[in-house]
Amino acid sequence: MPGLGSAGGKKPPASHSLAVDLADSRLLTAALESLRESGAKPTAIVHCAAMPDLTTCQEQLDLARKVNDQATGVLASFAQINNLRMIYLSTDTVFDGSTPGSGPGGLYDESDVPSPVNTYGATKLAGERHVAGLGPKGTSLRIALVYGRSLNASGALSAGGPAEPSASSARSASEKLLAAARAAVKARAGGDTAAHVKLFSDEYRTPVCVADICTAVSELLTMSNVPVLHLGGPERVSRFE
């Protein structure tokens, strides 16, 4: 990824950036073909992009389908044609949460049958089905609530160092919470005594650090025959907790 500098003192490998609108399958296909025709020889696709906001997905159903479902199908098709490994970051919200899973402590494990209750979960599950068609080369990595610094936040430098993410730029769970808390403090300072952060006490997740996800993806790239994998953190907590 250009602009990130070196890792571990080593010069980063040559890289190429290509901006693509995932909602346009035709342009995405053309972009992938241009990549292939350029002589580039990728060995894997790690598909991290999505339309992740639950409310936006409910309000823009067609767009959510295009981004989370159809674009994943285009990428999976490219992977299959070119014999590539593909890792697809999915979500724990493919489950409805209404009944306990079969894993320890009632947590969901990979053998449990998904049953999404919102558009985001349904479209991400549809994406999983495309990846399943790759057989041993495809993996759907279901991640839980992600915390940590996102790339944009850690790269946005100010005079005093990395800038804190705003409400509009925040991506991880912890960034969104901090941004909302700062906004509430600012509103209260402006006289809005009712301003506060609203959180769920009846939604339980297993928050996972973004660095651990990166490590897992790196390890999965060297493996095969892992159709679905759940990746959560060590604690089951409510959003409020």
So which residues are the catalytic ones? 120
Contact in structure between 115 and 74 (CB atoms under 8 Å): no
Cβ atoms of residues 51 and 67 within 8 Å: yes
CB 70 within 8 A of CB 126: no
Rounded Cα–Cα distance for residues 155 and 163 (Å): 8
Single out the residue of 60, 86, 80, 106 nearest to residue 204, CA to CA: 106
What is the DSSP secondary-structure string of 39-91?
Answer: T----EEEE------HHHHHH-HHHHIIIIIIHHHHHHHHHHHTT-EEEEEEE
The per-residue DSSP string of 179-221 comes to HHHHHHHHHHHTT-TT------SS-EE--EEHHHHHHHHHHHT
| CB of 178 closer than 8 Å to CB of 170 | yes
d(CA 34, CA 39): 9
Distance of alpha carbon 144 from the chain centroid: 9
Give the residue among 214, 223, 224, 204 at the shortest CA–CA distance from 101. 204
Which tokens belong to 179?
């941004």
